[in-house]
Structure 1
Amino acid sequence: MEFILQDTDIFDEIIDDKFRRIVSKNIDNFIKNKVYVFVVSFHMNLLGDVRFKSFDVINNKINKRLNNSTTNQVLRHQLERMKHVLAENNIDIYFSTIQGDSLEKENMIKIELYEDTTTPSGAVRRKKEKQIKVTYVMPNLPYIKNYVIDFRAERISKKFYDFMEVIKDKRIMSEILQIEHTEDDNKLLVAFADQYGVLWFSTKEIEKELSEQIKERTLAAMVSVNRKL
């Protein structure tokens, strides 16, 4: 589900009341015992707004308003107010984020709620309450996306060239990747990224499984190339 709060920016003092009206109108669309992911987006152009410094937030630990707030404090404060609306309506969320993005205009808030497929549905509430709740504050989403893309490319490229240092033969590498023989590093790198790109964020178990797969393919490729020679 996607909702838009019109004529509303991230500094709106009644952002929770506006969200409450939307939830109330759409309450029948929420399925009992389902767990949802909650994403709030605001226009990233507001990141330099001086109102971040003057906006009062409440430190719940000491129940006191804080002056001279930081950007993250304001964003988290507004997100928590909206999460409270969901809690009032018994809508379960364990993952929530607030992010600056390139929206159509500055004076709007985009809200997304969709089923969290990582959390078993129909679970007993007592068990679900033990699950760790995760909240992310991402003031500049496009920057983070670009950083992740660059980081991913760098990791994959390093793994590829580390592997090539061992193989040294592009004919064998082509066989391993199951593509037509090429001496072009870029073509080999693209094929490697397509098949083994998961290595950049893999768990030890996945990396071990892929490593075994690469070893098997390497041995088979070496046999195949030697036969052709």
Structure 2
Amino acid sequence: MEYILRETDIFDPKLADKFYDLFKDDLELFEDDKYYNLTVSFHVNSNDHLTSFMKFELPPLEKKITRKNSDYEKEKKYDVLSYQLKELEDILVINDIKFHMSTIQGEELEFTDNIKIVILENEPKNNTNKNGKKKLWICRSIMPSRPYTTSLINDFYAKRMNKLYHRFFSIIKDKKIISEILEVEETQDINLLFKAFIEQYGDLWMTTEEREKELINKLKNRCLEVLQKYIDEEQKQNDDI
């Protein structure tokens, strides 16, 4: 479900009330045994309105920082976003709608005075305790600028995968052999080889320990298999001489 709150912004103290006015007619569409993700998007340009963040009145219990803090302005921004997200989460809570992920993020929305709220069904994985009972962990994230965060993640991803690529193939200089290891048509183009590596082993950059071991063992075994093939071929040629 997607809701567009018009003529408002992230600084609106009545944001949650405006959301509920749109949301209340759809309550019957949400099932008791389902879990959902909540994503709140505001226009990323709102981050430039520092005065509005500073003037935003937080309830006493939400005031976690003091002006003596050198990062006061940054932390006030996060406190405001956290508060608004919590207010919107409470609309789901009081209506018995279970969610396990919530996000508030600055986005390149079409209009600066809109708020977009998306609620999607998403069953959490491994949400049971040792006794087999369901235990819901709620994951919250705050991204003042999703484009900036995405850029950082992409940069980190590229560096991480480049490092892994060279870790495995720095000793193997022959791109023909690397092509065979990656099971692609023979090429001397490093970009095509790196792309093939990403497609097959891209999960290595951030995954579970078990999955990481699985992929590394797969790649190691493939390297050994292909290298052994070339060693055997070379040995056979030497024997024939």
Output the TM-score relative to the length of structure 2. Answer: 0.84
How far off its partner does 1:120 sit?
7.2
- Structure 2: state its 5+ residue gaps: 128-132, 235-241
Say if 2:204 is the partner of 1:199.
yes
- Measured against aligned partners, the alpha-carbon deviations of 1:37-81 in whole angstroms (never above 9, x if no partner) come to 111000011112111001101243789xx9987111111111111
> Do 2:35 and 2:124's aligned partners in 1 also have CA atoms closer than 8 Å?
no
Say if 2:52 is the partner of 1:51.
yes
Say if 2:94 is the partner of 1:88.
yes
> Do 2:181 and 2:226's aligned partners in 1 also have CA atoms closer than 8 Å?
yes
1:9 aligns with 9
Say if 2:143 is the partner of 1:138.
yes
1:72 aligns with 78
Amino acid at match of 1:13: P
How far off its partner does 1:132 sit?
2.6
Task: Report the 3-state secondary structure (helix = DSSP H, G, I; strand = E; otherwise coil) of the residue aligned with 1:26.
Answer: helix
Match of 2:226 among 214, 221, 226: 221
Match of 1:106 among 96, 112, 115: 112
Q: Give structure 1 regions of 4+ aligned residues with deviation exceeding 6 angstroms.
A: 66-69
Aligned mates of 2:126, 2:8 — CA distance in 1 = 34
1:174 aligns with 179
Amino acid at match of 1:89: N
How far off its partner does 1:119 sit?
4.8
Aligned mates of 2:186, 2:233 — CA distance in 1 = 12
Amino acid at match of 2:155: D
Matches within 5 A, 1:148-167: 148-167=153-172
How far off its partner does 1:207 sit?
1.6
Instruction: Tell me: CA distance 1:111–1:31, structure 2 relative to 1, closer, same or farther (3 Å).
Output: same
> Do 1:42 and 1:100's aligned partners in 2 also have CA atoms closer than 8 Å?
yes
How far off its partner does 1:178 sit?
0.7
How far off its partner does 1:227 sit?
5.9
Instruction: Tell me: CA distance 1:28–1:120, structure 2 relative to 1, closer, same or farther (3 Å).
Output: farther
> Do 2:34 and 2:123's aligned partners in 1 also have CA atoms closer than 8 Å?
no
**Structure 1, 18-27 or 35-44: larger mean CA deviation:** 18-27
Q: CA RMSD in A?
A: 2.5
> Do 1:35 and 1:119's aligned partners in 2 also have CA atoms closer than 8 Å?
no
2:238 aligns with none
Output the TM-score relative to the length of structure 1. Answer: 0.88
- Measured against aligned partners, the alpha-carbon deviations of 1:125-177 in whole angstroms (never above 9, x if no partner) come to xx54x433221111000001111111111110111111112333322211100
% identity of equivalent residues: 38
Q: How many residues align?
A: 222
Aligned mates of 2:139, 2:197 — CA distance in 1 = 33
Aligned mates of 2:125, 2:231 — CA distance in 1 = 50
1:124 aligns with none
How far off its partner does 1:218 sit?
1.3
How far off its partner does 1:194 sit?
1.1
Aligned mates of 1:119, 1:31 — CA distance in 2 = 18
Larger radius of gyration between Structure 1 and Structure 2: 2
